[in-house]
Structure 1
Amino acid sequence: METTATVRRRTAERMRDTLERLATERDIWVSTAHPDHGPHQVPLWFLWDGQAIWMCTSATSVTARNVRKEPRVRLALPDTFDVVLLQGEAECFPDQEVPADAAEAFAGTFGWDPRGEEDSFLYVRVVPRTVRAWRGEPELRGRVIMREGKWCCGSQ
Structure 2
Amino acid sequence: MCTSASSVTARNVGKEPRVRLALPDTFDVVLLLGEAECFPDQEVTGDAADAFADKFGWDPREEEDAFLYIRVTPRTVRAWRGEPELLGRVIMRDGMWLE
The residue that corresponds to 1:111 in the other structure is 57
Deviation at residue 78 of structure 1 after TM alignment: 3.0
In structure 1, runs of 5+ residues without a counterpart are: 1-54
Deviation at residue 139 of structure 1 after TM alignment: 1.1
- Determine the C-alpha separation between the residues in 1 that align with 2:96 and 2:18: 18
Q: How does 1:62-141 map to 2 (within 5 A)?
A: 62-141=8-87
Structure 1, residues 73-122: CA drift from partner, whole Å, max 9, x if none? 10011311111100101101000101222111100011111011111000
Say how many residue pairs are matched.
Answer: 99
Structure showing greater Rg: 1
Structure 1, residues 33-81: CA drift from partner, whole Å, max 9, x if none? xxxxxxxxxxxxxxxxxxxxxx000000000011111111100113111
After TM superposition, the score normalised by the length of structure 2 is 0.95
Give the alignment's Cα RMSD to 1 decimal. 0.9
After TM superposition, the score normalised by the length of structure 1 is 0.61
Higher relative contact order (CA 8 A, sep 6+): 2
Identity of aligned residues (%): 83
1:98 counterpart letter in structure 2: V
Runs of 4+ in 1 over 2 A off after TM superposition: none
- Determine the C-alpha separation between the residues in 2 that align with 1:109 and 1:136: 29
